[in-house]
Amino acid sequence: MSDSQLLIGPESLPALAELLRRPAVSQVLVVADANTARLCYPLLKPHLPENHELLELPAGEEYKTLATCETVWSHLTERHADRFAVVVNLGGGVVTDLGGFCAAVYKRGLRFVQVPTTLLAQVDASVGGKTGIDFLGFKNQLGVFQEPAGVFIEPAFLATLDPRQLKSGYAEVVKHWLIADAAAFETQRHQGLFVEDWTPVIRESVATKQRIVAADPLESGLRKVLNFGHTVGHALESYLLLQPGREVLHGEAIAAGMVCESWISHQKGLLSDLELDRIETFLFSIYDKIQFVTLETDAIAELALQDKKNSGTTINCTLLEGIGRARYDQPVTLAELADSLRYYHRL
């Protein structure tokens, strides 16, 4: 994370307090959604300067838009925020992505820190310097790479999550095992989602992502392995986001995407029958199957044409070359993506 701080555990919030007490900090704006303002802000508040402000946004992926950004930018402008202000993003992936994006472009860049409150944000969304928002129904269509001044991960926030949100974040942990840690996957597939202390899991998962990001900060090569499950997963998530009442959580869509992209890997001779079976068995032991009809598969697959990993009209996907090893920039066709969705539908 270059010169920025990353702390995990009870010492993280006191370290944030120390950062915000520095003389160079002129103002502190906390960006939260309706849920984190109610459930998480009381835990954070004692570590903030007295003159901070809280901006509460509506909760949900459907609000990860330019319109919500305008709310943040208007708030900063009305309060004459200068370039010595610090934005504290308190929330899951929507808040950390959107808040980081707003800070990165306001007056060509304010400092911001991430205080992730969901498992997904703690192991993935808040780490790595990606910021962004959805646009015209496409996931993270607008965004910039901008490292935060710090990421402060307090596992105690996970107690505020319902089981569905916790499982959603766990999908990104599983992804890290499948692309880079076969031994961890082999151990965890026998345990399933039975975790008493999340701190070691978070530390290991963050370390995996940090190693990959350090080798390729701007996603020109190796970092693309972190997109395993996301070509199909983002397409499925985007499609259902436009269908009122059918929305799924990010991790749920990524879990489905990992099944589909594992199947494509198997079809291309990269993944054995046994490995595919182990991945499917593990994922379906945790996640319910996402419901869609066969007639929708082509429309879902076509959304992958907007994927950021593509080169021109070539859809690039990350596939598994065995459990624990990944290949990026693997060309796939719309037909293969649609076939993978049909395969998933039949399981």
Which residue is catalytic, options 219, 237, 252, 261? Answer: 219
Residues 223 and 289 in one domain: yes
At 190 the pLDDT is 80
Residues 254 and 297 in one domain: yes
At 311 the pLDDT is 79
Residues 178 and 323 in one domain: yes
User: Which CATH number belongs to the domain containing residue 35 in this structure?
Assistant: 3.40.50.1970
- Number of independent structural domains in the chain: 2
Which residue is catalytic, options 172, 237, 275, 336? Answer: 172
Which residue is catalytic, options 47, 64, 111, 130? Answer: 130
Residues 128 and 182 in one domain: no
Residues 110 and 17 in one domain: yes
Q: Is 224 a catalytic residue?
A: no
Q: What does the pLDDT look like over 234-272, one tens digit per residue?
A: 999 999 988 889 999 999 999 999 999 999 999 999 999
Residue at which a domain ends, from 160, 186, 204: 160
Q: Is 75 a catalytic residue?
A: no
Q: Is 176 a catalytic residue?
A: no
Residues 152 and 257 in one domain: no
Q: Is 209 a catalytic residue?
A: yes
Q: Is 219 a catalytic residue?
A: yes
User: Which CATH number belongs to the domain containing residue 267 in this structure?
Assistant: 1.20.1090.10
At 26 the pLDDT is 96
Task: Give residue 2's pLDDT band: very low, low, confident or very high (50, 70, 90).
Answer: very low
Residues 131 and 171 in one domain: no
This prediction's pTM: 0.90
Q: Is 223 a catalytic residue?
A: yes
In which domain, by residue range, is 261 found? 163-346
Residue at which a domain ends, from 160, 180, 210: 160
User: Is a pLDDT exceeding 80 seen at residue 72?
Assistant: yes
Task: Give residue 3's pLDDT band: very low, low, confident or very high (50, 70, 90).
Answer: low
Which residue is catalytic, options 139, 223, 224, 266? Answer: 223
At 242 the pLDDT is 87
Residues 260 and 147 in one domain: no
Which residue is catalytic, options 61, 227, 237, 266? Answer: 227
Q: What does the pLDDT look like over 154-206, one tens digit per residue?
A: 999 999 999 999 999 999 999 999 999 999 999 988 877 777 889 999 999 99
Q: Is 227 a catalytic residue?
A: yes
Which residue is catalytic, options 167, 176, 224, 230? Answer: 230
Residues 173 and 275 in one domain: yes
Residues 267 and 176 in one domain: yes
At 138 the pLDDT is 87
Which residue is catalytic, options 167, 234, 266, 309? Answer: 234
Residues 339 and 194 in one domain: yes
| Three-state SS sequence of the chain | CCCCEEEECCCHHHHHHHHHCCCCCCCEEEEEEHHHHHHCHHHHHHHCCCCCEEEEECCCHHHCCHHHHHHHHHHHHHCCCCCCCEEEEEECHHHHHHHHHHHHHHHHCCEEEEEECCHHHHHHHCCCCECCEEECCEEEEECCECCCCEEEECHHHHHHCCHHHHHHHHHHHHHHHHHHCHHHHHHHCCCCCCCCCCHHHHHHHHHHHHHHHHHCCCCCCHHHHHHCCHHHHHHHHHHHHCCCCCCCCHHHHHHHHHHHHHHHHHHCCCCCHHHHHHHHHHHHHHCCCCCCCHHHHHHHHHHHHHCCCCECCEEEEEEECCCCCEEEEEEECHHHHHHHHHHHHHC
Which residue is catalytic, options 108, 190, 196, 346? Answer: 108
Q: What does the pLDDT look like over 84-129, one tens digit per residue?
A: 999 999 999 999 999 999 999 999 999 999 999 999 999 988 788 8
Q: Is 234 a catalytic residue?
A: yes
At 156 the pLDDT is 96
Q: What does the pLDDT look like over 222-236, one tens digit per residue?
A: 999 999 999 999 999
Q: What does the pLDDT look like over 274-308, one tens digit per residue?
A: 999 999 999 999 999 999 999 999 999 999 998 87
Residue at which a domain ends, from 137, 160, 183: 160
Residues 152 and 175 in one domain: no
Which residue is catalytic, options 111, 176, 250, 266? Answer: 250
